[in-house]
Structure 1
């Protein structure tokens, strides 16, 4: 397998893929149906396997996201189905999900806005003991993946909806314990890699000229949905480390506003408690 891996890594490096060797190994493991760590034990591959491997490497070299090529994305303890039309969850979002899990008491009602593939909502359902998790998504394409991923979780309810609608989930006003959101937040005009520009929907990535056009109504919606003492966590761009906490404070209905950094020491999400 080593010569094929080396050739694949070279091809991916030439194409500008950030982690060519890792991606080459993950694609090989996928084709062979083994764990990545067992590749060193494989010295020969069948012709049909090699052909399939080369096809997948070429897809990745064309900057199709690795997760789309594999058909799944790893997120915390989950393997989520992803593909064209749904935002691929990023590792940094695992921090917001973890914060939400820590603040979800047994029997809680949790809302995940801009749910996409369901990464945050399903992680809360998987690792905590909520009575109900409502995953809200507006994209018809993303809803297909969200519903499929949510099927094994009895506590999860999928709701089509636009988070900029102030009447969204009006039956739950004042009843939600935890609200989480990873909204589109990249300022328009920001350069993004081909994997994002060509495969993630713009509506799932960009948040208006300043990147805050979705976050502003989300804060208002959170204030309406949360009970007194309920908590909110919102992911944001690393340029918004001051802006999102300031918006939460300016709303006047939140206390304990805190900004959180990610594993690269960049501002990544803000949290607050409903007064």
Structure 2
């Protein structure tokens, strides 16, 4: 007869202590997530599990050591990250979805034309700098009628995007169309010019700095983080591309660094024939994304701008 399983509570306490000793603020929560992952149970049912055998404890120890010793993001170690209504696969080479992006997704979903046809017969949406697919796949999940295109340049991120798109299609969501391309290329997606209802993007937007958490700087790809010295290197040409893709009345939503909201709004306001430009904050009150509507000649002054909104 082999050794008896070790109770979950004891393993979880030891994991939390090791994580806390490494300076991880959410040590108890992360310990719970790690144990639930290793046992393959929902976090809410973790304390009902029988316990962990030697192999499971060794796996918990491996994950804790990587998290505490090398600062590897927990999402990479678990292989998944929450993304609004979805759970997406992530790992080295792709930006980890953040909760703030969900606000941008909800803004776009509230403004897409109402469903009028079957699957794939509704509005066209383009996600530029798609990364893991968080925006594109959330929209496709919420709007089965939408025709969603996701553009990603970097091969490592593209692999994660394809993996997540295939998983969501297998789960029954409307498949998205993936493009290996550069969101700063003015000639991108020529067949969609003037036909798109919404362009959305969470581009590389952080002004160059080394003042970021070590687990971000040391593990997440710089190509997904930094937008040049001013944070606008990708944003400026991306806005021009968006303007060429959008139909009159189509919407643009671009996430940005919390220090560059006014600059991004100014870029959108002076380029591409957009109508009223709005700045939006996240749940912490920090400037987070800018939206605008393609001018159709019958609405707002295209140079008009509004203040920050929630």
TM category, shorter: over 0.9
Residue of structure 1 in register with 2:227 after alignment: 207
Contact 2:131 2:152 in 1 (8 A): yes
Alignment gaps of 5+ in structure 2: 1-7, 116-121, 296-310
From the superposition, tell whether residues 129 and 44 of structure 1 become closer, same or farther in structure 2 (CA, over 3 Å): closer
User: Counterparts of 2:282 and 2:26 in 1: how far apart (Å)?
Assistant: 20
Question: Which is further off, 15-24 or 224-233?
Answer: 15-24
Contact 2:204 2:223 in 1 (8 A): yes
Count residues in correspondence. 275
Residue of structure 2 in register with 1:188 after alignment: 208
Matched, 1:63 2:71: yes
One of 115, 119, 135 as aligned partner of 2:150: 135
**Aligned 1:57-206 pairs, distance under 5 A:** 57-61=64-68, 62-105=70-113, 106=115, 107-151=122-166, 152=169, 153-206=173-226
Q: Per-residue CA shift, 1:204-236, capped at 9, x if unaligned?
A: 000000111111111111111101100000000
Contact 1:100 1:178 in 2 (8 A): yes
Residue of structure 1 in register with 2:33 after alignment: 26
User: Counterparts of 1:104 and 1:124 in 2: how far apart (Å)?
Assistant: 10
User: Counterparts of 1:126 and 1:254 in 2: how far apart (Å)?
Assistant: 28
Aligned structure 1 segments of 4 or more residues deviating by more than 4 angstroms? none
Larger C-alpha radius of gyration, 1 or 2?
Answer: 2
TM-score where L is the length of structure 1: 0.96
User: Counterparts of 2:256 and 2:136 in 1: how far apart (Å)?
Assistant: 17
Residue of structure 1 in register with 2:5 after alignment: none
Q: Per-residue CA shift, 1:3-36, capped at 9, x if unaligned?
A: 2212211211222223111111100000111111
SS in structure 2 opposite 1:239?
coil
Q: Tell me by how many angstroms 1:130 deviates.
A: 3.7
Q: Tell me by how many angstroms 1:44 deviates.
A: 3.2
Q: Tell me by how many angstroms 1:252 deviates.
A: 5.5
TM-score where L is the length of structure 2: 0.85
Contact 1:104 1:128 in 2 (8 A): no
**Aligned 1:235-254 pairs, distance under 5 A:** 235-251=255-271, 253-254=273-274
User: Counterparts of 2:272 and 2:226 in 1: how far apart (Å)?
Assistant: 27
Matched, 1:226 2:246: yes
User: Counterparts of 1:130 and 1:255 in 2: how far apart (Å)?
Assistant: 27
SS in structure 2 opposite 1:74?
strand
Q: Per-residue CA shift, 1:242-265, capped at 9, x if unaligned?
A: 111111111151112111110111
One of 283, 287, 297 as aligned partner of 1:267: 287
